[in-house]
Amino acid sequence: TQLLEQSPQFLSIQEGENLTVYCNSSSVFSSLQWYRQEPGEGPVLLVTVVTGGEVKKLKRLTFQFGDARKDSSLHITAAQPGDTGLYLCAGVKSGYALNFGKGTSLLVTP
């Protein structure tokens, strides 16, 4: 059973467009993390959201944690080719294991 469902799985947009990636679960998480992975590299942490309803901004990226701490979203404003990559959400339900979603593969074309 997949704990975290991400949507969409693939997204291809043009430079300058806005987009939102969703990470949903039926389980409550104490926190959720978002990572970005580029080809040939390991995932790199973008942000950790901890409090229900929390909103964090990282330049053009806005992350939100749902009030019930079961879901999160990533919104990118005015996407650029450098935003291209695999976006992964991850959370811990119990114990120490970090459970990852299946990822959203984003392609931004000039």
Partner 1 sequence: DTAVSQTPKYLVTQMGNDKSIKCEQNLGHDTMYWYKQDSKKFLKIMFSYNNKELIINETVPNRFSPKSPDKAHLNLHINSLELGDSAVYFCASSQMPGSNQPQHFGDGTRLSIL
Q: Which positions lie near partner 1, rule CB under 8 A?
A: 29-31, 33, 37, 40-45, 48, 50, 86, 88, 91-92, 95-100, 102-103, 105
Q: Which is nearer to partner 1, 32 or 79 (CB)?
A: 32
Please identify, using beta-carbon distances, which residue of 56 and 102 lies nearer to partner 1.
Answer: 102
CA-derived radius of gyration, the chain? 13
Cα diameter, the chain: 43
Q: Could you tell me the smallest distance in angstroms from the CB atom of residue 45 to partner 1?
A: 4
Give the residue with the Cβ less far from partner 1, 78 or 98.
98
CB 23 within 8 A of CB 35: no
Q: Report the distance separating Cα 35 and Cα 44, nearest Å.
A: 5
Expressed in angstroms, the distance from the first to the final Cα of the chain is 38
Closest separation in Å from C-beta 59 to partner 1: 18
